[in-house]
Each structure stands twice: as structure tokens, then as C-alpha cells.
Amino acid sequence: MMAKMNMLQAINSALMAEMETDKSMLVFGEDVGHFGGVFRATSGLQEKFGKQRCFNTPLTEQGIAGFANGLASSGITTVAEIQFADYIFPAFDQLVNETAKFRYRSGAQFDVGGLTLRTPYGGGIAGGHYHSQSPEAYFTHTAGLKVVIPRDPYQAKGLLLASIRDKNPVIFFEPKRLYRASVGEVPSDDYEIEIGKADVMQQGSDITLLAWGAQMEILQHAADLAAKEGVSSEIIDLRTLAPWDVDTVAASVKKTGRLLINHEAPLTGGFAGEIAATIQEECFLSLESPIARVCGLDTPYPLNHEKEYMPDALKTFEAIMASVKF
Amino acid sequence: MSNAKTKTETIHRVSFLDKDAMSIPILKILQADGTVYDKAVLPVIDQALARKVHDTCVFTRVLDERMLGAQRQGRISFYMTCTGEEAAVIGSAAALEAEDVILAQYREHAALRHRGFTTEQFMNQMFSNEKDLGKGRQMPIHYGTAQLHYQTVSSPLATQIPQATGVAYALKMQGKRNVAICYFGEGAASEGDFHAGLNMAAVLNAPVIFFCRNNGYAISTPTEEQYQGNGIASRGVGYGMHTIRVDGNDMLAVMAATQQARAHAIQHNAPVLIEAMTYRLGAHSSSDDPSGYRSKEEEAKWQQHDPVQRYKLWLINKGWLKADEDTQLYEHYRHEVLSELKLAEKRPQVGLDFMIEDVFDKPTPLLKKQLAHLKQHVKKYPKAYPKSAGEQ
């Protein structure tokens, strides 16, 4: 059975279903209890499963991450929320030095594979630089963490269920500007979308457009503009940034000969750089133009120039045309 | 606004609380001569447990002496001793049940020994050989064993504190009648994770014992430069948990406090803070030289409070140990440590394949590719990589 849901409802539906099935699963974070989270992703969970299984924590991101590590290391299925990705940095030590290395450092005596950390990321909501950042690249640089980002409600539920059940810790970034804006048909039943697999959303022959999360609709818009100019775009949603699906992207670029990567995070040190380096190595002889990156500027996320900062459809369209005319 | 559960008295003129507003007593049971104080209430202890505790003390002294020596000879890269803090560590460990989870900082190998970690297992870890449970991935003394419920030590300080709260919450949810115990020093208590972990434990009702070894120094930094308040214990009250300060060189006081802390934690699903006042008789680590920051006189003064000696005198007074009985035990462990050391240092290191294992549950395609590339390179330049060249 399918139901029309926005992304928050899809996330809520995944949490609800998994807490029902997995009696050990706990959900916690700041304001996630009775209030249901500042975005309402955890609505109704405390009512249904009680205060022991869905609860508020004190206001301490490093505490949430450390507590989550302890739970997961004891065999508890652990879903923690960091209210905004902008506030994940107090938890950075726990995530980078503890979560990511728990299995490795102990020779698999202990692991925190049951941990999923959900956090809303990204701009487009007039949130200024402390409610808009996209910090995914920091985490892709740490061996041992998986990084997953959904683009719509259907993907959100399937990827979240897969993340919760994955035997490795996952940081699950949710594009907050799509929370209510993105609506689609979502199965009421249980399903998973495989982690580590990119999704070719649209076949094309002239250029590969690659992004994740909220930027997918930007790519689609740009591809439509380019199509009017006779350019055929292949669109890929990377979905998992760590470990990322090199094969799918490389196969596409070998076919189209061109690659454009779009992300909201600043250009320098962004994950597009990693993709570009790998793809030029994998596809050097197939490339017909330099790999293009359409990204945020290297500034803090600006409140009053949000529109100008964003790697939007027009900037992407321009980069597509520059690439095909190279 | 104050918590609804807290009583608040109203005043009508300004009156500050000063740092001495709270007076915190210190629990002492055992006197320097090995007799107990009048009216002292002893922990629950029988002869078998008492002798086991003594045995662990002797083993720890021998291990520390020999392995510091091995480090000085260049046989292992690094070492840390427990010397001076044996009563704090062993007294608390001996108050626990075997399935209570231990989250150590790094100076608590005596607790691990008390749980049953063998001399061979200690050696395998320190020589990071192929039989090391941690697969040779961490510096010496970073022990861990799932079987003995001792979580693997990690170097970053205080990270284990909020984790212990999580472990304890898990024990509660799983319906186990067990606690987590979390060791840390007074220096680590300055980290944000300390505040996070204790506050969460109190708010979320986690059965965890926070055990602070207040040993006077964080590497070279003395307590006067670490905090201004009334030790670490004063903070426990602030977080809303049962708190006690004990003489950390008094085996029986530590044991009594920990036994009752454990009972309280389980009965009330609540955390307890124990601050054990002790002294790090040795250097911070094999890379440290304390003569640059403290006097010989100070060290000599604390030598007089040797916790192992004080406890031994009690055993003798009690008739549970003969005066010279442990001479043989020291000899036995010196021999055992040395022979296990020789065996461990000859065991092969883990193979190159282990390098990409356990990053994730299964190696990713990219990791496999990186390993294949590395192996080819090693094959081409075997002399530059003598450890791995033989594997090809």
C-alpha cells in the first residue's frame, strides 16, 4: 500500500515501524520526546513506545553522541538526533575518535554498528550560517563512518531503514528544506534502499550530473533547461557519500564523457573534489571536458545572500553549457 | 528556575555561597598500621576475596616494574604504571560483579587483572602481536576484552564517561542487574564529556558508578591548576547524584564505598560518583619525567602511604596472610611475566590483510583496491617494508 507523505512523515514512518519490530531500538535527542522534535520527525514515538525508548536528552551534543556510543556498544539499536547539523561539532570527537574507530581499535571486540545519527542539514530556509550548513565532507574524511543523504520521502524511508539495520555507524543527513516541501508516494510496508549504491535517475548521453539530497531537484531543473538547448543529461543521485559508488559514476562518465558535480557546501575541501579526483583517474581517456563543480562559495553561509550563494539551477545550467561547448 | 524536586529557601538580602559552602568528609577505614579505625564499618569481604585482592596487587606491582623496565630496554614502545593507585583500582573492581561493565581510562589494568586477564594476554597486547585481541592496532596498555566486559581503552580523555552512561542505560533496558563503572582522573574531569556524561546519567537514571582517581596530577599539571572547587566530589552533588569521597589508598574504604555505590545504582537506577584521593607514585607514562614538576620530598611523603603495604598489614593482622608469604608470590610473578614477555615478543605481528579489516563490518571495494595496490608496492620494494615483505 502506498501513501502520500512528506519527508518528515516518511522518516517518522520508518522510525515508528522499526521501533515496533526491533524492541531494543531507542530514539533520543534534544526535544525529540513528547514534543516530537523541532521538525516533528519523532512525533508520536514517545506516546507509542514510552519514555524509556523515546526521550529528551539534556542539551549536549557530545553527550548525545557519547551516550549513543555506549548504548550501541552494548547491542542496543540506537537512533540519535542532532537537532541541526550546524550543532554537530561538539560531538565531533565522539564521532571521529570513538564511533568511527570502535570496531577497528578493539579488533572487533566491540563495535557501534547499531548506531544511526540523524541530523537536518542544508540551507534554503533563511537560517543564516548556524542553521544552514552542509558538513558532510568532514565525516567522509573519517574511515569507519557511513554517510547517507536522501533526496525525497521514498528514499528517506528506505535509506533510513537500511541505515538503522546496517552493521556500521551511519550519519544520516536530512535535507531540511525538503522536510515538508518534498511530497511523494511512500510504501506503508517495510523496504530498504541499499547503502553504497548510487541511483541513475535519468539516462542521458552528453553529460553526467551528480549530486545528493536537496540538490537533486536543482539538477533536474538545470537538465530541463539544458534539454531545451539540445543537451542530453544523465542524472545521478549519489545517495551514499561514504563509501561511495565509484563504479556507477565512472560507468556513466565513460558513456557521456563529461561530469558536473553539484553540492551546497563550500567548494574548497568539499566532497566534489574527491569525486573529481577519482573520476579523472578512472575515466581519464573518456573525458571531453574538465570536471565541473558547482558548489557554495567559500564563505560562511550568508543570510542575506542565500540566493546568490546557492549552487542553483541557473549556475548549474551555465556550467553544463560551458562543459558541452568546451 | 529550580528543579521541582529541589527545595529552595528564600532570602531577602544578597548572600553568596562560597566554595567551602559544602563540607565533604572523606571515608577512611584502614589505618597506616593495618588496623581499622574504631567504629569503622568494613566492606563485605572474606578470606578468598581478600587474598585475591592481594594477589592482584602483587601481580600489578611486578607487571609495572618489569614492563617499565622492558620499555627502558626498548622492547616495547610505551608503558603506564598503576603504582600508588592500586587500592583505588583494585578495591573498586573487587566490589563489582563479573558482568558489570568496566570503562577504563588507561591506568586501570589492575582491574582487568582482577577480572581474570592472563599474563599472556597482557603481553600479547603490549607487543601488538597476532594474538592480541585488539589485532595489534593500538599502543601498549590499550586493553579490551568483550569476554571480561572491559571495553577497549581509547586514548582521548573522558570520551568513556558519556559512553558509560549509555552502557548503563543499555544494562537497565536489557533488564540486567548490573552496573557500568567508569574510571577517569581529576584532569579528565575538566573535559566537556565529564559534564555531559554525569548530567545525562543523573537525568536519564542510568546505573553507573563514576570513579574518579584524583591522583594529584594530570601529566605535570597539579590539582591547584586543574580546578578551584571542592575537588571533583562537589560536582556530583551539583548533578544531583549520590557522591562520596574516599581515601583512595585505603583498600577497605574504596571497597566499602563501591559496594554500596553499586547497590544504590542498581536499586534506584541512579548514578553514583566516587572521588578517590590518591597519588600517582610513578611518572605519567614512560615518556614523562616527574622531576621537572614535583619534589622528591613530596614523592617520599606519599611512599609512606603505600596502599599495597597498608592492605598487606591488615591481612597479616587478620591472620589471612603470613608475613613473608608473598615473597614467593613476587618471585612467581617475576618469573611468569618474564617468560610470557619472551614468548610474546617472538610471536609474529598481524598480517597486512588486517589493515583493512574492521574499518567496516566488511572491507569496501575501495579498501580492497587500496590494499591490493599497497601489496604490489611492498612487493616491489621489500627492503623498505621489512615487516610485511615476508608475507608475499
Q: pLDDT tens digits, residue range A175-203?
A: 999 999 999 999 999 999 999 999 999 99
Residue B13 lies in a domain: no
Residue B283: what pLDDT? 93
**Quick check: A94 and B146 CB within 8 A?**
no
Residue A309: what pLDDT? 97
B100 lies within 8 A of chain A by CB: no
Q: Which of B360, B370, B371 to mutate to test the interface with A (most CBs of A within 10 A)?
A: B360
**Quick check: B166 and A167 CB within 8 A?**
no
- Closest residue in A to B101 (Cα–Cα): A74
**Quick check: A63 and B164 CB within 8 A?**
no
For B147-166, write each residue's pLDDT tens digit: 999 999 999 999 999 999 99
- For the four alpha carbons of A160, B205, B96 and B144, in that order, the dihedral sign comes to positive
Residue B14 lies in a domain: no
Segments of chain B with pLDDT less than 50: 1
Q: What are phi and psi of B36, to 5 degrees?
A: -95, 155
Report the side by side order of strands in the sheet with A199-202: A199-202, A233-237, A207-211, A259-266, A292-296
Could you tell me what percentage of chain A is helix, strand and coil, using 3-state DSSP and rounding each to the nearest 5?
A: 40, 20, 40
Same domain, B379 and B240: no
The proportion of chain A whose per-residue pLDDT surpasses 70, expressed as a percent, equals 100
Q: Is A141 a catalytic residue?
A: no
Distance from CA of B192 to the nearest CA of A (A): 8
Please report residues of B whose CB lies closer than 8 A to that of A58: 196, 199-200, 203
CATH number of residue B117's parent domain: 3.40.50.970
Joined grid coordinates for residue A51: 519514555
For A29-42, write each residue's pLDDT tens digit: 999 999 999 999 99
Residue B43 lies in a domain: yes
Nearest to B113 by CA among B128, B131, B94: B94
Please report residues of B whose CB lies closer than 8 A to that of A73: 151, 163, 166-167
Residue B1: what pLDDT? 46
Alpha helix ranges (H) inside chain A:
7-21, 45-49, 61-73, 92-93, 102-105, 136-140, 153-165, 215-228, 246-256, 271-282, 306-309, 313-324
Residue B208 lies in a domain: yes
Same domain, B357 and B210: no
Same domain, B380 and B294: no
Same domain, B332 and B374: no
Residue B7: what pLDDT? 79
| A52, A70, A168: residue with CB nearest B162 | A70
Residue B103 lies in a domain: yes
Q: Which of B311, B326, B346 corresponds to the end of one domain? A: B346
CB contact at 8 A, B187 and B222 = no
**Quick check: B193 and A63 CB within 8 A?**
yes
pLDDT classification of A254: cutoffs 50, 70, 90? very high
Nearest to B56 by CA among B90, B88, B8: B90
Phi-psi region of B74 (alpha: psi -120 to 50; beta: other; left: phi over 0): left
Burial B12-46 (b: 16+ CB within 10 A, else e): eeeeeeeeeeeeeebbbbbeeebebeeebeebebe
Please report residues of A whose CB lies closer than 8 A to that of B173: 24, 26, 52-53, 76
B266 lies within 8 A of chain A by CB: no
- Closest residue in A to B102 (Cα–Cα): A70
A111 lies within 8 A of chain B by CB: yes
Joined grid coordinates for residue A160: 533510513
Q: Domains in chain A, please, with CATH?
A: 2-187 (3.40.50.970), 199-324 (3.40.50.920)
- Closest residue in A to B139 (Cα–Cα): A105
Please report residues of A whose CB lies closer than 8 A to that of B169: 67, 70-71
Average pLDDT over residues A221-244: 98
**Quick check: B156 and A98 CB within 8 A?**
yes
Query: What is the spatial distance between Cα B387 and Cα B366, in angstroms, rounded to a whole number?
Result: 24
- pLDDT above 80 (res A58): yes
- Closest residue in B to A80 (Cα–Cα): B166
**Quick check: B159 and A144 CB within 8 A?**
no
Residue B20 lies in a domain: no
Q: What are phi and psi of B188, to 5 degrees?
A: -60, -25
Q: Which of A105, A194, A241, A274 to mutate to test the interface with B (most CBs of B within 10 A)?
A: A105
B171 lies within 8 A of chain A by CB: yes
Residue B298 lies in a domain: yes
Nearest to B375 by CA among B345, B348, B353, B358: B353
For A110-122, write each residue's pLDDT tens digit: 999 999 999 999 9
- pLDDT above 60 (res A12): yes
Please report residues of B whose CB lies closer than 8 A to that of A62: 162, 192-193, 196
Same domain, B168 and B198: yes
Domain residue limits at B241:
26-346
Q: What is the rounded average pLDDT for all residues in chain A?
A: 97
Interface subset of B 21-40, CB within 8 angstroms of A: none
Please report residues of B whose CB lies closer than 8 A to that of A247: 365
Same domain, B364 and B274: no
Same domain, B290 and B378: no
Query: What is the spatial distance between Cα B12 and Cα B276, in angstroms, rounded to a whole number?
Result: 39
| A58, A107, A111: residue with CB nearest B137 | A107
Same domain, B300 and B315: yes
Please report residues of A whose CB lies closer than 8 A to that of B145: 109
Please report residues of B whose CB lies closer than 8 A to that of A87: none
**Quick check: B199 and A63 CB within 8 A?**
yes
Based on the structure, what is the number of domains in chain B?
A: 2
Annotated active-site positions of B, please? Answer: 280, 284, 293
Joined grid coordinates for residue A265: 557546501
Helix B325-346 with B47-72: angle, nearest 10 deg: 50
Residue A219 has a CB neighbour count (10 Å cut-off) of 28
DSSP codes joined into one string, A13-79: HHHHHHHHH-TT-EEEETT-STT--TTSTTTTHHHHH-TTTEEE--S-HHHHHHHHHHHHHTT--EE
**Quick check: B144 and A67 CB within 8 A?**
no
Residue entry with cell 541557473: A314
| A72, A101, A109: residue with CB nearest B133 | A109
Same domain, B330 and B385: no
Interface subset of A 114-143, CB within 8 angstroms of B: 143
Query: What is the spatial distance between Cα B132 and Cα B116, in angstroms, rounded to a whole number?
Result: 16
DSSP label of B389: H
- Beta-carbon contacts of residue B346 (< 8 Å; ≥ 6 apart): none
Same domain, B217 and B269: yes
pTM recorded for the entire structure: 0.96
Joined grid coordinates for residue A34: 513528547
Same domain, B133 and B227: yes
**Quick check: A66 and B133 CB within 8 A?**
no
Same domain, B370 and B334: no
